[in-house]
Amino acid sequence: MLTELIGGLTVTAPPLPPEVVDGADEAQLVAWAGNGCPAAIEQLVGRYESKVFRLARNITGNHEDAEEVVQKKDSEDGEEKTISQELQDWGPNPEQRYSQEELRGILETAISKLAPRYHIVFHLRDIEGFSSKETAQTLHLSLATVKARTRRARLQLRDSLDAYFRPMKGKRKL
């Protein structure tokens, strides 16, 4: 049931049918979901499920853990845990966090040096987790072009990172 305050009166309306919710904009869906409309909640989850999963996969580093994170689950004490609580439980310790931040800075610098046509393809494919086909559709490019640019971006990054992490030939890193 939807509950709204109209002119100081609380009015309870029947649940909205899914076909009404399908065409609604995001702000309206959020408002309806906040009032407990199951169709609006389902529509919002459907719209953002793949993005949340990609984020969870990037954070956890693998498909199985990401699937587990996006599902609510019961803990030992019978309490339901949310996605953010799960991610906090898996958080890095301070030393790991420092190392990750340092590595992130190195990687961001290397990525920023990519030519724009490689940068955008790399970002969509390897950071956002888009498939080659999704990337091609989003950028209005052929699949072959996306694959070639992805490969070139990765090779350029490898060379850039290789120069940073490997000692130069003939010289020793101290």
Mean pLDDT in each 10-residue stretch from start to end of the chain (174 residues)?
46 54 75 74 77 78 77 55 50 68 86 92 90 93 95 92 72 46
Q: What is the model's pLDDT at position 146?
A: 95
Q: What is the model's pLDDT at position 172?
A: 46
- The count of other CB atoms within 10 Å of the CB of residue 77 is 5
Domains and CATH numbers, the chain: 2-89 (no CATH), 94-165 (1.10.10.10)
What's phi and psi for 61, nearest 5 deg? 90, -5
Residue with tokens 């956890």: 60
Q: What is the model's pLDDT at position 143?
A: 95
